[in-house]
Structure 1
């Protein structure tokens, strides 16, 4: 079994590699060539942590395995990333474990790739202002991925703790894009694309904040009870997701579905937009929403790509189980 540590994942798993892997697996999901198995995810009753196991199988790419890990909100004070995880891959023909891949950088990159895919396929072509809601570890990854999809001329950003926006300002400076911290009402009034990446359990963006034509990539809600958007905003949008079952149960759409404002049939798959079997944005005034819940197949596709790249990069650490 191959062991691929975090530093090697950081070196090999580029934004381009992540985008290609995730877009391909979204398409495979739409063609029903890949399936996610039921998720186990809950509070563990210790350190305020959320822990879960996601697994699946991509018959097209023969990626079989699981990701285990979660969110430890106190890790930042310990000098650690709040999200901690690892991916275990198995041989689809024999069931033998083939690789264990550190999942922290991989998770950030595949999550950013998912929102970037939604921006490429759903945002207006003339989108010029990027709005960022959230300034945690993954926000910088999200910003860089979003900037690659449109010719954004400036960035407006909000965070519950404004002092944390300095890290995003630094990323924006590296990318050469003007950056400004603003209040939510101004962010919604100016942004053509909004990326939300928080761990909120209460709605942040309201319907009144968002103007027609906006694309929203809601990337923070992946657990029952979490929430970044007012259900009325979800109901006003053309909604797409990575997987409908997760979106309606643990994703951003869980609240609008529970309130009877939308049904599961109202939620489209981003993979169907990628393959051209379902229309995406249909007018310049559409509010489009991508509910990025984070599915196992994204992690497996990313880990498989890392293994492929690592095999060509030199000697690897192997363990005989």
Structure 2
């Protein structure tokens, strides 16, 4: 069995590798070559933590496994650890033997950013110039870095529940040489692409905050009850997701679907756009929305890539098991 510790991930996994892995597995999902297992996610009644498992099997890439982990909201304040903690386990699909154990914290951040970046590539207008970020927590900086590589943005605008956190993303924009401006939520109407990356249970981005032709990527924590955007926005938009079942049950589409405002058939797979079996954006004025629910296959895809890189570079640890 190979072990790739968390400390090695930053030197192995690049945004380009994460992007390619996620784009490829989305396409495999839409073609029926890969599928996710049912998600288990539970409040464990200790430290206010949420813990669960995501897994799946990609026949095309012969990748089988699961990610175990969750959210410990007291970690940062009490222990100096990030609140999201996870580990990925890969298995040989031919024998069932464990193949690898991989640190999943940075991989989760990179694959989540890669997912929204893939959606921008395939759904945002080519002439998009203003990028909006609603949220400024740990994940937001990864989202911004990845998004800036997909279009020639000439400005970033940002909003957060706690404005004192906005320098986190202003620094990323400055390092990329792109001007940054703080706005209120109605100011998001200036954006051509908006990424929401919050842990909200009530909407902040409303339908009238989004202009015609905008692409919105909803990337915040997915669980029962979560809601980052107004349900009416999903009625106005062409809605895409990584996995439809998750989108309408624990993702951003759950409220519009539950209220009968949209049907399951109104939510399309982003992988179908990648494969060319769905046309994607219908016009320059159409609002598109990607609901990134964070499927297990994303984690397995980036973990498999990092294991191969670690072996090639001689930093993977081999143990008998």
Give the corresponding residue for 1:259.
259
Shift of 1:42: 2.5
Q: Does 1:52 align with 2:52?
A: yes
State TM-score, norm by structure 2. Answer: 0.98
Aligned twin of 1:35: 35
Is 1:98 matched with 2:99? yes
Q: Report deviation, 1:315.
A: 4.5
Q: Distance in 1 between matches of 2:47 and 2:208?
A: 36
Rounded to whole Å, the distance in 1 between the matches of 2:305 and 2:147 is 21
Contact 2:92 2:98 in 1 (8 A): yes
Partner of 1:227: 227
Q: Which string of whole-angstrom CA distances, capped at 9 and with x for unpartnered residues, describes residues 206-261 of structure 1?
A: 11111111100000141111110111111111000000000010100001000000
RMSD: 0.9
Structure-1 residue corresponding to 2:115: 114
Deviations 1:68-122 (A, max 9, x none): 1111222221321111100000001100001000000000000000000000000
8 Å contact 1:19–1:114 — kept in the other structure?
Answer: yes
Matched, 1:12 2:12: yes
Partner of 1:183: 184
1:78-227 pair list within 5 angstroms? 78-187=79-188, 189-227=189-227
State the 1:319 CA deviation.
2.3
Runs of 4+ deviating beyond 6 Å: none
Unpaired segments of 5 or more residues in structure 2? none
Q: Would the aligned equivalents of 1:115 and 1:290 in 2 still touch at CA under 8 Å?
A: yes
Which sections of structure 1, spanning at least 5 residues, go unmatched? none
**Do the aligned partners of 1:221 and 1:292 also contact (CA within 8 Å) in 2?**
no
Q: Distance in 2 between the 1:238 and 1:48 partners?
A: 36
TM-score w.r.t. length of structure 1: 0.98
